[in-house]
Structure 1
Amino acid sequence: MSFDSSTFGVVALAAYKPDWDLFLAQLRSIQSQTHSRFLCLISADGGFAGVRDFVAQELGDDDRFRVIGFPDRLGFFGNFERVLQHVPAEAKWVALSDQDDHWYPDKLEMLIPHLDDVSMVAAQARVVRRPGNDIVAESTQRRNVPLGSLMAQNQVTGCLSVFRTEVLDLALPFPRLDTIAQVHDHWLAVCAMTADGVLVVSDVVQDYVQHGGNVLGEVGGRKGIAGSLRHVAAMSRKFHGSASPLAMLRTANDLSFGWRRAMADALRIRAVDGAPGLDGGVAAFESGHRWGPTSRVLADGFRRGDIAAPCLLEFIAGLPVELYSRGNRSQA
């Protein structure tokens, strides 16, 4: 396998018990990219033999596709971290891929040139529900925001992004919170923002497929307040064993201040002093943050429309636990 080293990159695909029809459609859409100078690394988070044999059967003559597998299952967050740890040094860019979407043929060709100017470029998707091919939304409507707003509410969906490989020098290893709140694409986006920035473009570059097996799906600020409460209750039952008011407050803190604190503390240690937005966006959420900067970031982001009401509600709901935890940490 030989590639033009100046444009060679990696498609990093995390797989776990895929729906074989959707998986094949995604593999074919990657295989058909007009920018063909890539290695597709597929990390099987369990079920390695099945994924390996399926890829060999369907794409056996295409050596751009390589399956790696491990005996332990890490979940989607850890699996993306693991596949990114195997990106070869000669790769110039990385594109994240889910196992069940459908890329348009010119996706990579359209996005890669933007990396001459920024560390990460992210696009839009058409949201489609399977089965039935119903169109849920013509665009995901992600937007460009400053670092503080990006810390508060992610605008980068991993499967819509391509980033320079050097972002991994800052991003690996991933910070940990060990709840559903830790999200790989959010972390990679804020890392890229503190390097040479993130550009969100309006181009629709793929179908984002929603189905019964989605881990997260098209959620976040796009759901209503009632949907946000249902989401918090479901996460409370999963990670705290209950949907009691106290468990929901703890979950709201995980989903808001907890995960942002994990990212901000890691960035404070790893990012270069004077990185763009570091003293604004990161300082608003790191351990020991002052409430003035935090309030300004949240209020300004909400006023501009960068932070949606359900997201702001999660911060408000997480505030009691944050204040209690801050008090305990200050007394320790």
Structure 2
Amino acid sequence: MTAANAQMTTTGEDSAAASHGTVVILLASFQGAEFIQAQLDSIAAQSHRDWQLIVSDDGSRDGTRDIVSRFAAGFSEGKISLIDGPQSGATQNFLHLVQQAPANRTLAFCDQDDVWFPDKLARAMAHLARIAGAGHYAARTVITDDDLRPVARSRQFRRKFGFRNALVQACMAGNTSVFNPAAANLLKQGAAAARRAGVESHDWWAYQLTSGAGATLIHDEVPALFYRQHRHSTMGRNDTPRAMAARLAQLFAGAYGGWLSANLQALGAVGNLLTGENRRLVADVDAALPLPGPQAARALRRLGLYRHTRAGTAALYAAAAVGRLRQPRSPST
């Protein structure tokens, strides 16, 4: 696979269907000087021209802010904003960006070290324009090395995307995610609770909240960007046998149970945004996790939680059965 044939172009049908609304791009930066210019240039090259960019920098000392400022100087005032992040890690920075974003706009998450294909926003907007109500778009990626040499395409998921999957697996890639205004407003209403709960991953939380609220989920099989893998990547690729084995092993690490607990806390705080069925599901999962291992595993199985592979689902139930998903509860909870 070459860089040339990996970059898809927008079809005439997609162009005709595309919404003409503004997309507000949310870029969380930290010590990104080595790669951020390429990402900024790919944003400037988007065929969907109606965009604004908010960069929340988490205290970079390597010239990242200067690069963003020089880039912003080439556009009209207000097109690009550089704000200070909370300096509490990438997830908190993205949630902070959601809070700072204007209401009633399409939002797009953006990582500092990827490179978007020119039709990335246009494809997302075309897909979202075809649905009614809240919509969350994500896509596959082309995985590259740190010099943007393509290595492989990201995994193609075959099972249904939905809340029973979202509760236990993050697979709507944040670096490709675009949310129409209805979905974006859900995120804005839920971001404060997510920050307080200390959720592990902004994109996992976003998948949970949008699916829990009944949004339409779109997972595009056409790649949207070059997903650069380098030594400082916050989240690495998940498509190799070693990577998949490592992620399954996380199910048996105590941290995973803590992540589930934080996610449930964040969702429970905004239960009014969820459908009635999914609000009950959150309560049922929350009640199941503290049970003795075998009971917890049986309860989660009855609730129909699943990961996208049979091995992953089996590992989830096995981790529950041996008590690895249990978290201590304070007397007040």
Pairwise same-fold verdict (TM > 0.5): yes
Map of 1:41 onto structure 2 = 54
- In 2, Cα distance between equivalents of 1:225 and 1:198: 24
Matched, 1:127 2:143: yes
Pairing partner for 2:219 from 200, 211, 218 = 200
1:219 paired with 2:224, answer no
Report the alpha carbon displacement of residue 216 of structure 1 after superposing the two structures with TM: 1.3
Aligned equivalent of 1:29: 42
1:17–1:47 Cα contact (<8 Å) kept: yes
Cα contact 1:12–1:40 (8 A) shared by 2: yes
Q: Is this contact kept in 2: 1:13–1:98, CA < 8 A?
A: yes
In the TM superposition, what whole-angstrom CA distance separates every residue of 1:196-247 from its partner, at most 9, and x where no partner exists? 2322121211111101110112238964565347x75xxxxxxxxxxxxxxx
For the Cα contact (< 8 Å) 2:31–2:61, is it kept in 1? no
AA matched with 2:206: L
Is the aligned partner of 1:210 residue 2:212? no
Q: How has the CA–CA distance of structure 1 residues 85 and 192 changed in structure 2, closer, same or farther, with 3 Å as cutoff?
A: same
Counterpart-to-counterpart distance in 1, 2:106 and 2:31 = 27
**Gap change, CA 1:146 and 1:283, over 3 Å in 2:** farther
Is 1:8 the counterpart of 2:22? The answer is: yes
1:259 matched residue in structure 2:
259
Q: Residue 138 of structure 1: which of 142, 150, 153 is its match?
A: 153
Query: Structure 2 vs 1, CA of residues 225 and 266 (structure 1 numbering), >3 Å: closer, same or farther?
Result: closer
Correspondence 1:105 to 2:110: no
**TM-score between the two structures when normalised by the length of structure 2:** 0.76
Give the secondary-structure state (helix, strand or coil) at the position aligned to 1:152. coil
Distance 1:163 1:142, change over 3 A: farther
Given that 1:128 and 1:209 are in contact with CA atoms closer than 8 Å, whether structure 2 keeps it comes out as: yes
- What is the Cα deviation at residue 284 of structure 1? 4.9
- The question of whether the paired residues in 2 share the 8 Å contact of 1:8 and 1:37 is answered with yes
Give the total of aligned pairs.
298
Q: Report the Cα distance in structure 1 between the residues aligned to 2:212 and 2:170, rounded to whole angstroms.
A: 14
Equivalent of residue 171 in structure 2, options 141, 144, 155: 155
Uncovered stretches (5+) of structure 1, i.e. residues with no partner: 233-247
| 2:183 aligned with 1:168 | no
1:12/1:95 contact within 8 Å kept: yes
Structure-1 residue corresponding to 2:9: none
Give the whole-Å Cα distance in 1 for the aligned partners of 2:26 and 2:69: 17
- In structure 1, which of residues 77, 80, 87 is the aligned counterpart of residue 91 of structure 2? 77
The amino acid across from 1:93 in the alignment is T
Greater shift in the superposed pair: 26-35 or 308-317 = 308-317
Q: Which residue number in structure 2 is paired with residue 182 of structure 1? A: 200
The whole-number CA distance in structure 2 between the counterparts of 1:182 and 1:296 is 26
User: How far 1:109 sits from its partner (Å)?
Assistant: 0.8
On the 8 A contact 2:26/2:107 being kept in 1, the answer is: yes
Deviates more, 1:148-157 or 1:99-108: 148-157
Kindly tell me: are residues 322 and 139 of structure 1, through their superposed partners in 2, closer, same or farther at Cα, counting changes over 3 Å? Answer: closer
CA distance in 2, matches of 1:19, 1:219: 25
Structure 1 residue 93, shift from structure 2 partner: 0.8
1:56 to 61, 69, 79: 69
Which of 296, 308, 311 aligns to 1:309? It is 311
Conservation of the 8 A alpha-carbon contact between 2:186 and 2:273: no
1:260/1:325 Cα in 2 relative to 1: closer, same or farther (>3 Å)?
A: closer
Amino acid corresponding to residue 268 of structure 2 in structure 1: R
Contact 2:115/2:225, CA 8 A, preserved across alignment:
yes
- 1:54-93 deviation per Cα after TM superposition (whole angstroms, max 9, x unaligned): 12324412142221125x521101111111111012x521
- SS of aligned partner of 2:220: strand
> What SS is found at the alignment partner of 2:238?
coil
| Distance of 1:32 and 1:331 partners within structure 2 | 53
Distance, in Å, in 1 between the alignment partners of 2:50 and 2:332 is: 56
Letter in 1 for 2:41: R
Normalising by structure 1, we get a TM-score of 0.77
Contact 1:122-1:201 within 8 A present in 2 as well: yes
Distance 2:219 2:36 in 1: 26
Change (3 A) 1:331 1:212: closer
d(CA) in 2 for partners of 1:28 and 1:9?
16
Secondary structure of 2:268 counterpart: helix
Aligned partners of 1:139, 1:315: CA distance in 2, in Å? Answer: 26
CA offset digits 1:154-188 (Å, max 9, x no partner): 1111111101321224421115565xx71110001
> RMSD over aligned Cα, in angstroms?
3.3
The residue aligned with 1:67 is 82
SS in structure 1 opposite 2:154? coil
d(CA) in 1 for partners of 2:171, 2:326: 29
- The residue aligned with 1:243 is none
1:99/1:142 CA distance change after superposition, 3 Å: farther
Amino acid at match of 2:306: G
